[in-house]
Structure 1
Amino acid sequence: MPGKLTITRKISYDTFVQVMEKKGAPDSLAENIIAQRKYTLSKLDRRFVKELLFGSLRWYAKLYWILQKTSNRDLDKVTAQIKTALILGSYQIFYMSKVPDRSAVNESVEYIRYAGQANAVKFVNGILRTISRRAEYFPKPDKNKHPSQYLALQYAHPKWLVDRWSKRFNFERLKIILNANNQQAPNTIRVNSQKVPAHDLLNFKQSILREDKNTVYNKSLATCLVLKDSPNLEIGSQFAEGKYTIQDGSSQLVGHLVQPKEGEYIIDACVGPGGKSGHIVELSKGKAKVTAVDFSLAQINKAKTNLLRLGHDKIEFVCQDFLDFTPTQKPDKILLDAPCSGLGVLRKHPEGKWLKSPRIVHNMARRQQALLKHSLQILKDGGEIIYSVCSFEEEETIKQKEWLEREYKDAVSFPELSTRLPENYKYLLTKENILLILPGNKYSMDGFGAFIIRKNESVSNCRQAK
């Protein structure tokens, strides 16, 4: 007799199908489904959806390998809904200890009925019940003879990516990186220093505990804190009042590299959701002039909402491709948080492991060079570009610096980063004067890369970059 499919699983399974078919971001797709169907979810429900959806994406390859070994049919030829039911069902069995195996099996079967594929019920039920009995062990590739194959399977990463990183990192270092990519990111926040001054931080942390029932942990950055649980975003919360925003520690370090000063004109070339623009305002105590640029109207609107919540209402917004943007005044600094491969933030975007291709690094590097070239053209002499990417790939970090040195020679220089970073983070600097953060670092920050370019003379007076 058919059972009942819970709303949380319906959202999770339907979103997973859309992620794999539309190649979109799981959190955005899930929110769209919730809004369109007018579902009302508790905080606990949302946590369940996130765990099931993101966890299944993290461990997709390993789960699929087990399922394919268990099945007598080629799973590459089944429908997206059948594949989803098997992946999410097996994730609950292996990784969600509080979910009874029978619930994982039964609701996966009900999803197939709900998806109008009742003819596959017996097939899905049989495979998941076999897996729930842990009836068979399948030997993995030998880690000594086939290390890349072993790591790709054991840590659920595409083999092309493991092969790529194997050329840079030894086996043990690579295990740390891969393992870190499969962990949930901490709930890191940046306290809005314009609403919560340094002397009031203790009261702020106590109010988070008292009002939001959330424990706060200190980080070594003054305004960087970690919440034990997901932040309360509801009306009347500390978040809604603009006292903090959600931002990873690596992104917060970028604000320190910008080192904004009173009276400076600063352009945020790719503003995104606006986190770094807000930090620039706060570090300059509201005395720097900031223009935020982005080609996406949706991102501009999101940035406006986020920054107005924080009380930053003096920022100028421009919806335009930065390559087509020419300011009326040459800026003192440009924050170029450039589009990138995103391979440093796979723990937050696990779908990227399966939706990205080996060409992405090369393609993004070319785009970054075009943005760097344009930035130098519009920057004032003596001005700075603070270049950052949520990637630690060589083509997007050290090789970009080498390209600038080769193409622009004495027209550019690279200010020392150690004078701008807090003491505890200087160990992250490379001998090439690049801030390079690998996954699995001691502060549990996103993978990241950054450096600073100073324009010494008019770029028109030096050999142009090709």
Structure 2
Amino acid sequence: MSAVSPARATALRVVRRVFEQGAYADRALRAEAEGLDPRERALAKRLVFGVVQRHGTLEWIVARHAKGRLQPEVRAALWLGLEQLLFLDGVADHAAISESVELAKPGPGHKVVNAILRRVQREGIELPADTDPQGAAIRHSHPEWLVRRWWDELGADETRALLAANNEPAELVLRINTLVPVDASQLPPGRREDDALVLDGPFDLAGSPLFAAGAITPQSRAAQRVARFLGPRPGERVLDLCAAPGGKTAHLAALMGGEGDLVAVEQHTGRAGALQRTCERLHARNVTVVVADASRFQTDRPFDRVLLDPPCSGLGTLRSHPDLRWRVTEAAITQLAALQDRMLQAARGALKPGGTLVYSTCTISREEERLVGDERFQTLPHRDGTDGFYVARETP
């Protein structure tokens, strides 16, 4: 194992944790990559996210080359090698093969890894065409049930473009917190859109003094559109009915200039604590965190504006949450839709007559578009370059 780079060794541990223990890729990577230098950490992330995203395709390839049962560590090493050979630019073939073989040692399975990778290097791989949902599911590595659903809802061309975009890296975006004065010259290089800063390249967010001071926070451009769509004003009474982890809550507070009454509801105590800490870091001092079940929320003091961002399948965020595509099920979407309806009823009950209600989900799923609304918009990764969101607004 001495010949293996820290990035590849880390990637192997994370991939095994994801597929053998059910760990979340981003969380496991954060823990396992602790102490790596930025370059090694970046490579480890590319490898992990690539293998998890391409898992369906990689397994299809393995099934056509491997005979018999492979040990978990051998299979994971083979995935990493195939990902580098076939999908990762800037990695030399000899490094991809030799280090993957080392990852599979000391057992005899390393010979299988070597043989398969060298054969793929020589002969290449011909993936199925994406002319139908089955072929598209293999070629673009998504569950077939999901591809079929999008094929019906979006059409074949849109689906193929969406599947391809989901395997690309997500853009790096910060929100500039207007509650904290900051000199524009201190900000990292990037393109500014309202409060969003689309970064030109990698950025050490956790080590940034601006992050510690609450002047910046990560948030996709699509997510930042939600608070603006609600349009809160200073001095109003606003409800964020399903608020954790707090990115939209803090954005609402910033748009209100820190003035008014902003109530943020979260059912789980631990998440409510994290929500409170987020608001404190981002100087959202007009926020009151309430621990309550959003689907049963009631109030004697109705709100001018209500944001409902309920639990959803998250299918619009597959670029930044690569393992989510393998976790979501059709049955779960139906269950989520029923929960969303209950929360929507509570949101309407908390709204003043003539008030504004915004319903937002970070998913691409017609079944979860529970509010049609007077005005609505959808973002799609392949079309808008940001997360997939459905957002609707109504004024009863």
TM-score (norm. length: structure 2): 0.91
Query: Does residue 9 of structure 2 align to residue 10 of structure 1?
Result: yes
- Name the counterpart of 1:270: 242
After the TM superposition, which residues 369-384 of structure 1 pair with which residues of structure 2 at under 5 Å, given as runs? 369-384=341-356
Query: Does residue 178 of structure 2 align to residue 193 of structure 1?
Result: yes
Structure 2 distance, partners of 1:42, 1:137, is 34
Verify the 8 A CA contact 1:176 1:440 in the aligned structure 2: yes
The CA deviation at 1:181 is 1.0
- Name the counterpart of 1:405: none
After the TM superposition, which residues 111-130 of structure 1 pair with which residues of structure 2 at under 5 Å, given as runs? 111-113=103-105, 118-130=107-119
CA deviations 1:438-463 (Å, max 9, x no partner) are: 2212x4121110112334xxxxxxxx
The CA deviation at 1:106 is 3.0
Structure 2 distance, partners of 1:298, 1:16, is 27
Read off the aligned partner of 2:122 and give its amino acid letter: R
The CA deviation at 1:252 is 0.9
Query: Does residue 86 of structure 2 align to residue 87 of structure 1?
Result: no
**Paired positions, count:** 396
- Name the counterpart of 1:437: 379
The CA deviation at 1:161 is 1.3
CA deviations 1:341-393 (Å, max 9, x no partner) are: 11111111121222222223212111101111222233333333211001132
Query: Does residue 170 of structure 2 align to residue 170 of structure 1?
Result: no
Read off the aligned partner of 2:318 and give its amino acid letter: L
The CA deviation at 1:175 is 1.9
Verify the 8 A CA contact 1:277 1:292 in the aligned structure 2: yes
Query: Does residue 12 of structure 2 align to residue 20 of structure 1?
Result: no
Verify the 8 A CA contact 1:152 1:162 in the aligned structure 2: yes
- Name the counterpart of 2:122: 134
After the TM superposition, which residues 60-459 of structure 1 pair with which residues of structure 2 at under 5 Å, given as runs? 60-73=55-68, 77-113=69-105, 118-131=107-120, 133-138=121-126, 140-141=127-128, 143=130, 147-196=132-181, 203-204=183-184, 206-208=185-187, 214-219=188-193, 222-235=194-207, 237-327=209-299, 329-397=301-369, 400-401=370-371, 414=373, 416=374, 433-441=375-383, 443-455=384-396
Verify the 8 A CA contact 1:23 1:355 in the aligned structure 2: no
Structure 1 distance, partners of 2:244, 2:122, is 45
CA deviations 1:50-104 (Å, max 9, x no partner) are: 111111112222222222222233xxx4343222111112112223333332332
Q: Which stretch has the larger CA shift, 327-336 or 382-391? A: 327-336
Query: Does residue 28 of structure 2 align to residue 33 of structure 1?
Result: no
Verify the 8 A CA contact 2:26 2:321 in the aligned structure 1: no
Structure 2 runs not aligned, ≥5 long: none
The CA deviation at 1:245 is 1.3
Read off the aligned partner of 2:9 and give its amino acid letter: K
Verify the 8 A CA contact 2:130 2:160 in the aligned structure 1: no
Structure 2 distance, partners of 1:312, 1:371, is 25
Query: Does residue 27 of structure 2 align to residue 47 of structure 1?
Result: no
Verify the 8 A CA contact 1:81 1:112 in the aligned structure 2: yes
Cα distance change, pair 230–301 in 1 and its aligned pair in 2 (3 A): farther
The CA deviation at 1:235 is 4.7
Identity %: 28
Runs of 4+ in structure 1 deviating by more than 4 angstroms, as ranges, are none
Structure 1 distance, partners of 2:130, 2:40, is 39
Structure with bigger gyration radius: 1
- Name the counterpart of 1:421: none
Cα distance change, pair 388–315 in 1 and its aligned pair in 2 (3 A): same
Read off the aligned partner of 2:391 and give its amino acid letter: A
TM-score (norm. length: structure 1): 0.79
